[in-house]
Amino acid sequence: MKISILVLLSFICFGFNSAFAVTYQDGDLIFHESQGPQTKAIQEATGSKWTHVGMLFLKQNQWQVAEAVQPVRFTSLSSFISRGKNGAYRIYRVPGLKEAQKQDLRKQVEAFMGRDYDIWFEWSDDLIYCSELVYKSFFRATGIEVGQVQKFRDLRLDGPYVKELIRQRVENTGRELDLNEPIITPVAQIRDTKLVLVEEKK
C-alpha cells in the first residue's frame, strides 16, 4: 500500500496522532474530574471520579464547551481541559445526530446561556447544573435522554463530604432536602450505553 508524501510529512512533522486527529462534532460530550470545593462530595455521592460535563460546539472556527458553571457559558476547549485534574478527559458522542438536530441542540443550549448555576441541584429551569444542562438540552432538541434520571435517595448521602455540603447549602439556608427530587449526574451520563467514546486522555 502506498502512502502519499504528504501523509509521511505529517508523521514526521506532527506525529501519528496529529496526522489522524479526531474530528469533533457539535453536541459531543466532554467529561473531566473537576477540582472545585464540591468535587469530593459529588464523587462520594456518585462513586465516580467524573464530576463535570459540557458539550462541544464549533464557534468562530474554534471548539468551545457549553457548560453550566457560574453562569452557564461557552468556554474554550483548552481552558475546559486545563481545569480538569491532570488534564484528563473523555469525549463521547450521541451517534446518528442529524444536522437539523445539532442546530436545534445549539439553540436549546443558547437559551440557557447566562443562567445561574444551581448549587442545590434542583430540577427547575431557573438555575442549571452541568449534567442537567446536557440532559435537558438533548431531550428538548432531539427527544434523546442522555443518562438515567435518578432521585436524591438513589445517591450515597451518608458520606462526610456529602453531609457537609448538605449542611452548608441546605440546612444552613433554611431549606429541606427533598429525597424525591429528580437528579441527573455526570456518571449516569458517562455510563449511558448509547454513547460512543471519541477521545480520551488519561
> In this predicted model, what pLDDT tens digit does every residue of 125-153 receive, in sequence order?
999 999 999 999 999 999 999 999 999 99
Q: How confident is the model at residue 21, as a pLDDT? A: 62
Mean of pLDDT values over 57-80: 97
Distance CA 61, CA 153 (A): 43
Is 44 within a domain? yes
Is 11 within a domain? no
Which residue is listed with cell 460535563? 53
Is 133 within a domain? yes
Structural domain including 107 reads 20-201
Is 10 within a domain? no
Question: Which H helix or E strand runs over 92?
Answer: strand 89-93
Over residues 170-181, the pLDDT tens digits come to 999 999 999 999
Q: Which residues pair with 66 in a beta bridge?
A: 55, 74
CATH of the domain at 47: 3.90.1720.10
Is 141 within a domain? yes
Average pLDDT of the chain is 92
Question: Which H helix or E strand runs over 151?
Answer: strand 150-151
Torsion sign over Cα 113, 118, 121, 123: negative
Q: How confident is the model at residue 22, as a pLDDT? A: 75
Q: Which residues pair with 32 in a beta bridge?
A: 52
Is 193 within a domain? yes
Q: Which residues pair with 150 in a beta bridge?
A: 183
Is 9 within a domain? no
User: Which cell numbers hold the place of 181?
Assistant: 427530587
Q: Would you place residue 124 in the very low, low, confident or very high pLDDT band (cuts 50, 70, 90)?
A: very high
Is 96 within a domain? yes
Question: What domain count does the chain have?
Answer: 1
Asked if the model's pLDDT at residue 19 lies above 50, the reply is no
Over residues 31-57, the pLDDT tens digits come to 999 999 999 999 999 999 999 999 999
Closest to 66 in 3D by CA, of 111, 21, 22: 111
